[in-house]
Structure 1
Amino acid sequence: MAEPLADIVIHKMEQAAELYHRLVILVASAGSGKTAVLLDVHKRTAAPYINVNLELSRRMLDLTERQRALQIPRLLLDIVGEDPVVLLDNIEILFDVSLKLDPLRLLQGLSRNRTVVAAWSGSIIGENLVYAAPDHPEYKRYPVQALLVVSPEAIAW
């Protein structure tokens, strides 16, 4: 599974270079191999692989809850640095309700000056990119038509 998906991700990265938001979203459920795909892409392209949960958690330790909500965009920008391509894994912290973020909008903002490949633990339901179940506090749903999406369930996107 990792090899063909990595090829597709690399192809989508090339497509993304021509777009306003250079964002590629790798969508699959937890434990389905997204990390293996990103590590394969990292090995083949030398793009930095970043564990967002780990890096943001380290930088937020000394911040209050209010400071965290305000500082996340800057902290994330510092983490990704100046690299032209970054691979973001474990982005679940961005969905934390207390941070009051719009994860997709934050990722799109990051992708204006670099290509961002983000592993999204969720699914594509109909025409929507979904994170969590509808009754869950972290539930998010976005229209998929304007996004570059790679998913083992919906390779055609």
Structure 2
Amino acid sequence: MTGSIDDRLHHALAAAAGLYHRLVLLVGETGAGKTAVLRRIAVKRAVPLINLNLALSAQLLELTPKQRALRLARILEQTLDDARDQKPLLILDHLELLFDPRLRQDPLRLLQGLSRNRQVLASWNGCYQAGRLDYAAPGHPEYRRYDSVETLVVGMDGCATIDSDR
């Protein structure tokens, strides 16, 4: 796919609008510039860029570890409903909290669930190669590998799971 990363994301968001999970992941290693790209998209679309770690951490702080694991999905949904303010798109950055092993969550499935009733663009620290989506490095406590990804992916390296000619 040719064009700028912004163009690829706009195309992916348009393509995702008709899908069951309206999720687009911006995938790249830490320091690749994902936050700057998401800021530009947020400004162009006049929607907020939500720092998910910041939005969730205060609400989870007062809960026990067991309560955090049990209530995270509901708290996430409520937090984003409050932040959305009737905007058609949620842009999420800094998702590291979702990968905390103590929370016992499946971050990709959480994001897909959020994207059923609204469009979601989220950053993803990792890589996408040969149909596999990785988060973190093997051996890291937060490492995740997804061999089958049912969402649109745009990589900071230029890869994308959509065809620009459609």
TM-score, normalization by structure 2: 0.87
Letter in 1 for 2:77: L
- Corresponding residue for 2:100? 96
Alignment deviations for residues 1-32 of structure 1 (CA, whole Å, 9 cap, x no partner)? xx921221122111111000000000000111
- Corresponding residue for 1:134? 138
Structure 1 residue runs of 5 or longer lacking an equivalent are none
Alignment of 1:107 onto 2:111: yes
Provide the alpha-carbon RMSD of the alignment: 1.5
- How many residue pairs match? The answer is 155
Deviant stretches of 4+, over 4 Å = none
Letter in 2 for 1:136: H
Alignment of 1:151 onto 2:155: yes
- Corresponding residue for 2:62? 62
> Which deviates more from structure 2 when the two are superposed, residues 137-146 or residues 102-111?
137-146
TM-score, normalization by structure 1: 0.92
Identity of aligned residues (%): 49
**Residue 144 (structure 1) shift:** 5.1
**Residue 143 (structure 1) shift:** 2.8
Structure 2 residue runs of 5 or longer lacking an equivalent are 162-166
Q: Which of 80, 83, 88 is equivalent to 1:84?
A: 88
Q: 2: distance between equivalents of 1:97 and 1:72? A: 13
Q: 2: distance between equivalents of 1:73 and 1:62? A: 16
Q: 1: distance between equivalents of 2:51 and 2:148? A: 24
Q: 1: distance between equivalents of 2:13 and 2:42? A: 12
Letter in 1 for 2:10: I
- Corresponding residue for 1:124? 128
Q: 2: distance between equivalents of 1:53 and 1:110? A: 16
